Amino acid sequence: MFIQGVCKKLFVGLFTAVLSFTVFGGTAAAEVVPVNLTAKKATVKVAQGVKFKAWTFNGTVPGPVVRATEGDTIEVTLKNGDTSSHKNCKKKKKGKQRKKCNQQKKKHAAMWHSIDFHAAKVAPSDAFRSVAPGESFTFSFEASTPGVYLYHCGTGPLLEHVGMGMYGMIVVDPAEGRPPAQEVFLVQSEFYGKVKNGWLKSSYQAMKTEEPTYVAFNGKAARYAQAPIKVPVGGPVRIYFVDAGPSLSSSFHVVGTIFDAYQHDGNPDEPMLDVSTQLVGPGGAGVFELTFPEAGTYPFVTHALRDMDKGAVGIFAAE
Ligand SMILES: [Cu+2]
């Protein structure tokens, strides 16, 4: 995963596996931020030893973090790189063979995709239009409102396109910048289906229930329980958080501390102070600012404990 649209001004952010790095504050004149996203199928890991054939933006789940500054024009080019991976069924095939071939063909057929940015104020019927396989479409919007937002595929069935992995985060920094802090980017989401032979077989029917197989931060169950995120003792840490769903809320909490501030939708103007546990609904987002009082390990979870047990748990290692 990597960041789009940021290298031009504040810093060059190497987007590591832990999605965590330091910002050096600063401001710059508004400019055009090109964002290139390609919708395509890709194999990802959703849990230790479990692979998943996902529908993605740029080959990862979640897609890349897009970053811009208030007042920038975001120029999005969505390329639909989805192509059919199944050859035409030969006319010679008869009966069961032909039926099976047609089922496979349907399963592997290329499909239309689109992109819906929650940071945008535009007519979705135009900007968020579906793009045919092999085609590209470019649209622009002004990053008018600082915050952190979801982006996702908006093509129906929406539940399936989001459930298959088509989502990511956009951060719009206020024109005056944010105070320096170590930054962490977390997208919570669910995966549905049965696990067989090390593969998660996705199920649209299961997506219609509230029974996911995995709930994950940044696309892999317990990713940061296995590889904790290092944070400084006493130093400010800022978590940009999105709940991509598709359907479950997060009750976000860090064990052993209290958030100094929570900004709903990442709006820096009206923070809630001293928050212990915060509800973020599907499609919603927020910014958490916190400090770690002493060295040690601090789990971060959704306090919806059933979902925590399904993988929505990680660890901050304060040192
Ligand atoms: Cu899609």
The yes-or-no answer to whether 3-177 and 183-187+215-318 have a common fold is yes
Query: How far does residue 15's CA lie from ligand 1's centre (Å)?
Result: 24
What pTM was computed for the model? 0.89
Query: How far does residue 150's CA lie from ligand 1's centre (Å)?
Result: 14
Burial of 170 (0-12, 13-18, 19+ CB in 10 A): buried
Domain ranges within the chain, ordered by starting residue: 3-177, 183-187+215-318
- Per-residue confidence (pLDDT) for residue 119, from 0 to 100: 96
Query: How far does residue 135's CA lie from ligand 1's centre (Å)?
Result: 13
pLDDT digits (tens, 9 = 90+) for 160-204: 999 999 999 999 999 999 999 999 999 999 999 999 999 999 999
Fold that domain 3-177 belongs to in CATH: Immunoglobulin-like (2.60.40)
Residue at 247: amino acid letter:
S
- Tokens encoding 219: 């696309």
CA dist 22 to 4, 165, 184, Å? 16, 27, 9
pLDDT digits (tens, 9 = 90+) for 26-58: 345 679 999 999 999 999 999 999 999 999 999
Query: How far does residue 72's CA lie from ligand 1's centre (Å)?
Result: 26
Output the CATH code of domain 183-187+215-318: 2.60.40.420
Provide the pairing of β-strand 65-69 with 3-4: parallel
- Per-residue confidence (pLDDT) for residue 290, from 0 to 100: 98
Query: How far does residue 229's CA lie from ligand 1's centre (Å)?
Result: 31
Query: How far does residue 59's CA lie from ligand 1's centre (Å)?
Result: 13
Please list the ranges in the chain whose pLDDT falls under 70: 1-29, 84-92
